[in-house]
Amino acid sequence: MTKRQTPRRQDAKLHEVDRRAFVKLGVAGGLASLVAACGWDGGRLLRPGLLDISRVNDWVGEKILFSPTRLARTYSTAERSAMLPSYFISTMTPMLEDPAAWRLRVDGLVARPLELSLDDLMQLPRLSYTVKHHCVEGWSAIASWHGAPVSAIVERCRPLQTARYINFVSFDADYSNGWDMASAMHPQTILAYGMNDNPLPAAHGAPLRLYSPTKLGYKLTKYLVSMTFTGR
C-alpha cells in the first residue's frame, strides 16, 4: 500500500511543479513578446539599468581593451572607398559666415589657454593616414585624413593634473563629445583639416574636425570651435 502510494504522490507533485513552471514560462514569453512589440527601450524601470551596464562596458573598453600605443591598421590610398556618407545635426550643412575669423579655443583645466587659427594648426606637426571609418550603424569606409595630433595641442596648453577628460564642441547645433585623456592622446587622434589629400569639405566638418580610427564616427566631432579640459 505505502509502496504504491509513493510514486503516485511524487507524480502528483511533479505535475504541479510542471504546471507552475509552464505558467511562469508562458508569462515570461508573453512579457518578452510584449516588450519586443513595443519597441521597448527599457522604460523607466529597466532603461537606467541598461545605461549602468553601458557604463561598465565603457570602462571595460577604456581600461581593458583600449591600448594607448597600439595603432589601427592603415591602408593604401588605392583602397579608399568610393564614398563616405556625412552626417550633421543641423538641417543644413553647417558653414561659417567668416572662415577667416574662425579660431579653435583651448581652455578649461590648462596652464596655458590657446586660441588657434587654421594657419597655427598647420604649423604644428602634420600626420596623414588612410584608415577604415566605422559607423555605429554598421557601415564602414576607407578614407585618408590629415591634421595635427591632439597630443601636440596638449603639449602646448599643458593640462593641469586634475584634467581627465576633453570636451570637444562644434558649431553644429552645439553638438559635443567627451573624450577620456588616454584616447585623446592616442598617436592617431588628430584635429583634421584635410581629407583625401584635399582641404576638409564642408560636409565632413570644415574647417576642423576630430579624427581617430579607434573610435566610432559619432565620437569624431566635426565643425570644432573649442576643446575644454575638465575633471568631471
Partner 1 sequence: MTDQQSPRPFARRHHWIVRLTHWATVIVLAGLIASGLQIYEAYARFGNRGGPYFVSPFDGAQFPHWSRLGGWLAGALNWHFALAWPLVAFGLLYLGYVVRSGEWRALLFRPRDVRGALEMAKYYLHLRREHPPQGKHNPLQKLAYTGVIALGALAVLTGFAIYKPTQLSWLTALFGGFQAARYWHFWIVWIFVGFTVMHVILVFAVDPASLRAMLTGWYRGRFPSHD
Q: What distance in Å separates the CA atoms of residue 154 and residue 111, rounded to the nearest whole number?
A: 10
By CB under 8 A, the residues from 16 to 35 that bind partner 1 are 17-18, 21-22, 25, 28, 32-33, 35
Q: What distance in Å separates the CA atoms of residue 94 and residue 113, rounded to the nearest whole number?
A: 26
Helix (H, G, I), strand (E, B) or coil at 103: coil
Shortest Cβ distance from residue 39 to partner 1 (Å)?
Answer: 4
Torsion of CA 186, 149, 209, 181, to 10 degrees: 40
Q: What distance in Å separates the CA atoms of residue 180 and residue 59, rounded to the nearest whole number?
A: 11
By CB under 8 A, name the one of 1, 37, 92, 101 that touches partner 1: 37
Helix (H, G, I), strand (E, B) or coil at 162: coil
134 binds partner 1 (CB under 8 A): yes
Closest CA to 71 of 154, 188, 161: 188
Residue 132: strand pairing partners: 142
Shortest Cβ distance from residue 149 to partner 1 (Å)?
Answer: 17
Shortest Cβ distance from residue 131 to partner 1 (Å)?
Answer: 9
* 14 or 160: CB nearest partner 1: 14
Shortest Cβ distance from residue 201 to partner 1 (Å)?
Answer: 16
By CB under 8 A, name the one of 26, 27, 30, 57 that touches partner 1: 57
Shortest Cβ distance from residue 89 to partner 1 (Å)?
Answer: 15
Q: What distance in Å separates the CA atoms of residue 216 and residue 133, rounded to the nearest whole number?
A: 7
By CB under 8 A, name the one of 124, 135, 169, 181 that touches partner 1: 135
148: left (phi over 0), alpha (psi -120 to 50) or beta: beta
* 17 or 89: CB nearest partner 1: 17
Cα 47 to chain centroid distance, Å, stands at 19
| Part in contact with partner 1 (CB under 8 A); list of ranges 80-88, 96-104, 151-159, 176-184 | 80-88
Give the contact letters, 141-170, x = binds to partner 1 (CB under 8 A), - = no.
xx----------------------------
- Tell me the CA distances in angstroms from 152 to 29, 116, 179, 189, 206, one per residue in order: 55, 12, 16, 10, 20
Q: Which residue matches cell numbers 594657419?
A: 119
- Interface with partner 1 by CB under 8 A: which residues? 4, 7-8, 10-11, 14, 17-18, 21-22, 25, 28, 32-33, 35-42, 47, 49-51, 53-54, 57, 61, 65-67, 70, 72-73, 81-85, 132, 134-142, 213-214
